[in-house]
Amino acid sequence: MSKIEISGLTRRFGNITALDGVTLNIDEGRIVGLLGPNGSGKTTLLKIMNGLLTPTEGSIRINGFEPGIETHKIVAFLPDRNALPDYMSTDKLIRLYQDFFEDFDRTRAEAMIDDLGIDRSQELKKMSKGTKEKLQLCLVMARDAEVYLLDEPIGGVDPATRDYILRTIISNYNENAVVIISTHLIADIESVLDDVIFIREGKIILHEQADTIREEKGANIDQLFREVFRC
């Protein structure tokens, strides 16, 4: 049984089909790049995996469960926006995570937050956009989760922080976990990926191991992406 099993997943918004019969199996121990241009269905897929959106058709199972309380216990989700209460300070947010997630490692969170120079007494609303993103990622990655779903984790941060974040992702996830990173900044994350999924207009057009792509197609993932999604 794969860690994540998706079968015939379709989501329509009126006349628009955001996801069109997506079928995927993702095994544990993989870092997967969910890659596609804007509006291709990446965020919709991640929302459905988190139970934030219900599918029109099809099914999805994580560790054998449909999205719900059981999956929320083992899935760490980084959304594409600030979702934390902005009146809370970093220290209070750490306590909030600790209260609700049994797999949250406070020491790890504090170490990451200190590494990135985030003021623990400062309220979220007083932080810059980039600092908010960094903090949110630190809290998510400080969980000892079985599945990490990261929606644009490096979109709004500087290149030096990107390197730190990618190192954090590699060093903090356990080898039995799955990490899915949705982004269109491929060159930055290419080196950490085990598998690559290309998604276009709600359909999966490629699901392959990163090494296979490099060997068989003779191109890196960024080059292949530019070729496949050429406007």
Partner 1 sequence: MLGKLLKYEIPALGRKLVPLFIAWAATAVMIGILVGPAQAKSSFMMILSVLIYIVVGTAIFVMTVIMIIQRYKNSLLGDEAYFNMVLPVSASAHIANKLISALIWIILTAVTAFLTVLIITSFDQGFLDFNIDWKALFESLNAKTVVAGLEWILIFLASFTKTVMQIYTAITIGHQAKQHVTLMSIGAYIGILIAEGLVSRLLLAVFPAMFRTSVNSFEDARIILLPALATVLIFSAVYFFICKFLMEKKLNL
Smallest separation, CB 78 to partner 1 (Å): 9
Smallest separation, CB 151 to partner 1 (Å): 9
Token digits for 170?
Answer: 């590699």
Please name the residues in contact with 130: beta carbons below 8 A apart, sequence gap of 6 or more.
Answer: 156, 157, 158, 161
Instruction: Name the residue nearer to partner 1 (CB basis): 178 or 193.
Output: 178
Instruction: Name the residue nearer to partner 1 (CB basis): 79 or 153.
Output: 79
Instruction: Name the residue nearer to partner 1 (CB basis): 125 or 167.
Output: 125
| Distance of alpha carbon 37 from the chain centroid | 16
Smallest separation, CB 77 to partner 1 (Å): 5
Please name the residues in contact with 166: beta carbons below 8 A apart, sequence gap of 6 or more.
Answer: 154, 188, 189, 191, 192
Smallest separation, CB 21 to partner 1 (Å): 21
Token digits for 110?
Answer: 């504090």
Smallest separation, CB 123 to partner 1 (Å): 11
Instruction: Name the residue nearer to partner 1 (CB basis): 38 or 54.
Output: 54
Please name the residues in contact with 191: beta carbons below 8 A apart, sequence gap of 6 or more.
Answer: 166
Instruction: Name the residue nearer to partner 1 (CB basis): 16 or 205.
Output: 16
Instruction: Name the residue nearer to partner 1 (CB basis): 81 or 167.
Output: 81
DSSP category for residue 191: G
Angle at 136 between CA 122 and CA 63, to 5 degrees: 150
Smallest separation, CB 69 to partner 1 (Å): 5
| Paired residues of 25 in beta bridges | 5
Q: Applying CB under 8 A, which residues contact partner 1?
A: 13-14, 47, 50-54, 68-70, 72-73, 75, 77, 79, 81-85, 87, 96, 99-101
Give the whole-angstrom CA distance, residue 178 versus residue 142.
15
